[in-house]
Amino acid sequence: MENVFVVTGASRGIGAATASLAAQAGYRVVRASRSAEESVGDRGWDARCDVSSWDSVQDLMSRVESRWGRIDVVFANAGVSVDTSFVSSAGAEPSEWTDMVVTNVCGPAFTARAAMPALMRSGGHLVLTGSAAGRGVRPGNLYSATKWAITGLAQAIRAEAVDTGVRVTVVQPGLVDTDAIPPSRVDDPKLRPDDVGRAVLYAVSQPSTVDVNEILLRPTGQAAHR
């Protein structure tokens, strides 16, 4: 039975690039996103899933395991970003912050909880998208705080899953060339989405005796505080 790789936030950017690389590596790939038009083939599946909804994520994992018999890798990648400030009216209004926090924090937590039974059955691998922004202080940046949360979430899951055979990796990229780049950083060095995808495939391709806990990668020339 062929191995199955589920990617959330797969409609673009890091998710789309990682899904493509996983397919090239021989996986059956589930490309999940809020905007997907449902389409199932022998090796690829475009699946609609809203990671901010527990019911939606649970339904996705159930459907995948039921149809394809197993889940081997889950890449909890879906996320959004809005500009924020706590001392001025710059950036998004506070009423717009909720979707980001729920998507970026509850989304990976829901994904992990829904996927873990299948991953324990397969001895699989959970990968979460963190950020270099989740390793240092970014003034006024709530997005950065959500990525701090992902670092803690990955550690909490790994600690609880230590005797299950499931490996847990958090990938923490620096600035990536996507449509979410703030105007102030358009001229900064950038990673390509497939640079991050290769880091994910590196982690999941290690022997079952190796658990790559964290991968931090930045584009050459990006300052550590950026």
Return the active site residues.
Answer: 143
Residue 121: both structure tokens together: 């059955």
- What gap in Å lies between CA 22 and CA 36, rounded to an integer? 18
- What gap in Å lies between CA 61 and CA 49, rounded to an integer? 10
217 and 197 Cβ atoms separated by less than 8 Å: no
Residue 4: both structure tokens together: 């199955």
- What gap in Å lies between CA 101 and CA 127, rounded to an integer? 19
CB neighbours of residue 14 within 10 Å:
28
